[in-house]
Amino acid sequence: MRKIKSVCLFIVMVSLSALSHAESLIAMTPQQMQTLGITVSPLVATNAVVSNKLPGEIIIPVNQERIVSTPQSGLIDAMYFAAGQSVKRGQVIAHISSTELVALQSDYLRGKTQHQLSKNMADRDRELYKDGIIAERRLLTTESSHQELSVELRQRRQALKMAGMGEGSIAKLEKSGELASGFTLTSPIDGVVIEQLGSTGQRVDASMPIYRIAKLKPLWLEIHAPIEMMHFAKEGMIINIPKYQASGKITTIIRNLNRNDQTVHLRAEITSGTEKLFPGQFVEAELVSENAANQFAVPKSAVIRNANNSYVFVQTAKGFLPKLVKVSSEQPTQAVITGAFTGKEKVAISGTVAIKSAWYSSITQ
């Protein structure tokens, strides 16, 4: 037990000593630097911090995609667009023949005739009631029947609309009495046909999808970022996809941690370079933080770790001084740091192992 206490006391004493010597001078002559292969480089101020590359998937924004389905069962007898083609809103994209539609039109015309007859009877009975020829009860019965037929006619008209007939087609049906053998499907938005889900000659049931149409600008990028990125990622932050020269901004940080891989879900809207991207494509992106003060870019080899802290060795007239820094971003060869610098300092970028050994020796003495 005494031995364990002694070890713990030693660790505490070393830790306190390390803190007290954290910025103590490490004496070193130019000759020693040359012998140990130590080189220095000036700090480079930077206004932008770039994160590590993060994997993400390109998807279509939910409000920019539409599924065009057949409102009534029938037979596809014409399709005018295929996957990859651009369409305009209201443009005819397919035609479907439907015997069910013919039956709905017949029911509507029959209902319209019955409605007109009931209207004539109601008008006649009102006149007869005024002249005292019929009782009020008969008038009320006639008017009630007319109201019921009015509701039924509206239902049949709505059924035609749900079957794919527009106001113009219904007006034409009322005027000519000629039954249409089918209906056309039109594009609900300006966009591109992403997928053709039907084919000419195919029998389809009601609500079966025929086309998938989407607007492809802007696009969304869905990223699963390490939870450590949460101190760095912010809404409105610029995001780049370097390989495809595409860019946008973070729009949403979903506060829901993925238990399996401990990642946070970020969503970005890509507004530039979307013509080079495809829905479902996996890409690598990087976050860019701009206008940050007192930030400097150094080679990654300049940063050394001690416990949970990061340091760089700043050159002085008599050697090197360890400086505590915060690493904002790391790339394979470069790191962005913040700390108490004037911007005129030079830091060691090679031979840091030798300086670190000398530093540790001074700490433990």
CATH code of the domain covering residue 73: 2.40.50.100
Report how far residue 198's alpha carbon sits from residue 211's, in angstroms, rounded to the nearest whole number.
7
Say if CB 108 and CB 173 are below 8 A apart: yes
Structure token digits, residue 323: 């400086």
Same domain, 92 and 186: yes
Same domain, 206 and 91: yes
Report how far residue 197's alpha carbon sits from residue 314's, in angstroms, rounded to the nearest whole number.
65
The residue whose two tokens read 């009534």 is: 72
Q: Is the pTM of the predicted complex or chain greater than 0.85? A: no
Same domain, 185 and 91: yes
Same domain, 93 and 192: yes
Residue ending a domain, choose from 266, 289, 312: 289
Local confidence pLDDT in tens for the 365 residues of the chain: 444 444 333 333 334 344 444 568 898 899 999 999 999 999 888 766 666 788 999 999 999 999 999 988 999 999 999 999 999 999 999 999 998 888 899 999 999 999 999 999 999 999 998 988 999 999 999 999 999 999 999 999 998 888 878 888 899 898 898 898 888 899 999 999 999 999 999 999 988 999 999 999 999 999 988 887 777 788 998 899 999 999 999 999 988 877 787 888 999 999 999 999 999 999 999 888 765 667 888 898 999 988 788 999 999 999 999 999 988 777 778 788 888 888 889 999 999 998 988 888 776 66
Residue ending a domain, choose from 268, 289, 310: 289
Write the pLDDT tens digit of every residue in 51-89.
Answer: 678 899 999 999 999 999 998 899 999 999 999 999 999
Same domain, 173 and 107: yes
Write the pLDDT tens digit of every residue in 282-338.
Answer: 999 988 876 566 788 889 899 998 878 899 999 999 999 999 998 877 777 878 888
Same domain, 141 and 175: yes
Q: What is the pLDDT of residue 258?
A: 78
Q: Is 270 inside any structural domain?
A: yes
Same domain, 104 and 168: yes
Walk across the sheet containing 86-87 and list its strands: 65-69, 209-214, 191-196, 86-87
Domain that holds residue 74: 65-97+181-213
